[in-house]
Amino acid sequence: MSIQFKSILELKSMLNSKTISSSELIEETFKLTKDLKDLNCFVTMNEGSAKQKAKQIDQGKYKNNSYLTGIPLGQKDLFCTEGLRTTCSSKILSNFIPPYSATVVKKLEDSGSITIGKTNMDEFAMGSSNETSFYGNVHNPWKRSYVPGGSSGGSAAAVAAGIVPASTGTDTGGSIRQPAAHCGITGMKPTYGKVSRWGMVAFASSLDQAGPLARSAEDCAIMLNEMSGHDLKDTTSLDVEHTDLLRSINNPIKGIKIGIVKEFNLNDLDSKIQEKFQDSKKLYEKLGAKFIKISLPNISASVPTYYSIAPAECSSNLSRFDGVKFGHRSRDSKDLNDLYIKSRSEGFGDEVKRRILIGTYVLSAGYYDAYYKKAQQVRRLIKNDFESAFQTVDLIMTPTSPNTAFEFGSKGAQNPVELYLEDLFTISSNLAGLPAISIPHGMVNDLPVGLQLIGNFLREDKILNAAHVFQKNSEFHLAKPSLEDF
């Protein structure tokens, strides 16, 4: 029986009924990774350890039996994995083997899941098309010459191609939700602080958050249940009770209030994308939701705010890559300063350099107040806008991305800002620390389109409930790419 395109729950039921053993499941998964090697989803495979763990599970040596026991997962290549190369899709970390695992990886592995490999991504998560990876582009499973989105492009493509039922991603400005939308799967960015960032290579520490990419909202809830939790090793981790997200997932959504942002002029979007949005609104109305127009007066400032704050934090975080303690070191440096400059210049790609330079600029004397501090002030205004809106609505609905996936090389090559504007709908929830999901809601020009639901602080339960009810009443999330080009 094929395991391709199966959800976590379907695979779990096959394992429980002994239709398949854990070892057979892992064997089949690696067969798929080889058959679909051209997608370029993975940077490093974990075949030996994965097969060994599956065998232990089959032999009953693994005590835990959670939803994820025996389930194969992809881990984005910016989570440290003990003994398994972690590159962030960068040349500078091409030889880095972490001495420890990220909390997220450890929690998922302790629940019995099996890491099958590290997924390709934009270098250091900087990009929204997966074109900045040192290890080459990931292809969109729906159309080979199209981007999968980014930065978690490998994680999204691996799930969309049915290789793994779920994978981990990280989202700093849309890096889970946008590739999920472009690949036709479900992806969730949780509330800032819900999931530990320990062992996750930092890009912009006040915006980064790890989350799941999966075939359904229900599978995202299963993943997030295991990933969440207070962690003393992450000083921004939330010390709150994390409720079981499956408990309320089937609740009726009659009476739920959904906000439509009046500042987002959806008429500017492609008419077919508008049509999908209206169709989904109608479906929600049929299910009992009430739509309310809300105002987020500062929302149009979210892109410039983000592109000041994120590069500033990136320039600071990436100063640790200096060729001294780990990672790439240039071979011919005459002194220590030369070693720093050459190692960094050889190790980083163009987009990463661009962002480090912008960050250095906005943090430098004379510009700090005008750009960096200013952006943090606007950030508060954006957060305040959301706080007011959530006094009247339960959720806010927007498209995930203004466009479908685009062809390789067609955007941002002349001017990077063109690509930055693609993040319009996703960026504000990172600035405000709010949870948000992208669910597939149809196809435009044979490419998937995503619908975004943003929730209030720590209300992942409401988001997942609304997303799951939508998926129980539609079949968009069940669509599968033919993969005939691969």
Partner 1 sequence: MDKKTVTTICYLARLKIDKEKAQKIENDLEAIIELISELQNIDTSNVEPLYNPLEKTALKHNDVIDSDNQKEKFLDNAPSSNEDYFLVPRVVE
Query: Per rule CB under 8 A, is residue 433 in the interface with partner 1?
Result: yes
Range in contact with partner 1 (rule: CB under 8 A) among 5-13, 349-357, 436-444, 445-453: 349-357
Residue 428 beta carbon to partner 1: minimum distance, rounded to whole angstroms: 11
- Residue in 348, 406, 425, 476 binding partner 1, rule: CB under 8 A: 348
Residue 308 beta carbon to partner 1: minimum distance, rounded to whole angstroms: 4
- Residue in 350, 387, 407, 446 binding partner 1, rule: CB under 8 A: 350
- 4 vs 384, beta carbon nearer partner 1: 384
- Distance separating alpha carbons of residues 134 and 122, to the nearest angstrom: 8
- Which is catalytic among the residues 22, 111, 129, 151? 151
- Which is catalytic among the residues 6, 12, 53, 76? 76
Size of the site for partner 1 (CB under 8 A): 74
Residue 348 beta carbon to partner 1: minimum distance, rounded to whole angstroms: 7
3-state per-residue secondary structure call for the chain: CCCCCCCHHHHHHHHHCCCCCHHHHHHHHHHHHHHCHHHCCEEEECHHHHHHHHHHHHCCCCCCCCCCCCCEEEEECCECECCECCCCCCHHHCCCCCCCCCHHHHHHHHCCCEEEEEECCCHHHCCCCCCCCCCCCCCECCECCECCCCCCHHHHHHHHCCCCCEEEEEECCCCCHHHHHHHCCEEEECCCCCECCCCECCCCCCCCEEEEEECCHHHHHHHHHHHECCCCCCCCCCCCCCCCCCCCCCCCCCCCEEEEECCCCHHHCCHHHHHHHHHHHHHHHHCCCEEEEECCCCHHHHHHHHHHHHHHHHHHHHHHCCCCCCCCCCCCCCCHHHHHHHHHHHHCCHHHHHHHHHHHHHHCCCCHHHHHHHHHHHHHHHHHHHHHHCCCCCEEEEECCCCCCCECCCCCCCCHHHHHHHHCCCHHHHHHCCCEEEEEEEEECCEEEEEEEEECCCCHHHHHHHHHHHHHCCCHHHCCCCCCCC
Query: Per rule CB under 8 A, is residue 221 in the interface with partner 1?
Result: no
Binding mask 162-201 for partner 1 (x = CB under 8 A): ------------------------------xx--------
Residues 79-108 that bind partner 1 (CB under 8 A): 96-97, 99
Residue 238 beta carbon to partner 1: minimum distance, rounded to whole angstroms: 7
Let me know if 189 is a catalytic residue. no
Binding mask 230-269 for partner 1 (x = CB under 8 A): --x--xxxxx------------------------------
Binding mask 11-30 for partner 1 (x = CB under 8 A): --------------------
- Residue in 64, 254, 282, 370 binding partner 1, rule: CB under 8 A: 370
Query: Per rule CB under 8 A, is residue 338 in the interface with partner 1?
Result: yes
Query: Per rule CB under 8 A, is residue 48 in the interface with partner 1?
Result: no
Query: Per rule CB under 8 A, is residue 362 in the interface with partner 1?
Result: yes
Let me know if 143 is a catalytic residue. no
Residue 427 beta carbon to partner 1: minimum distance, rounded to whole angstroms: 12
- Residue in 64, 324, 445, 472 binding partner 1, rule: CB under 8 A: 324
- Residue in 126, 431, 439, 466 binding partner 1, rule: CB under 8 A: 431
Range in contact with partner 1 (rule: CB under 8 A) among 159-167, 258-266, 328-336, 391-399: 328-336
Range in contact with partner 1 (rule: CB under 8 A) among 55-63, 250-258, 342-350, 403-411: 342-350
Binding mask 381-420 for partner 1 (x = CB under 8 A): x-x-------------------------------xxx--x
Let me know if 151 is a catalytic residue. yes
Catalytic residue positions?
76, 151, 175
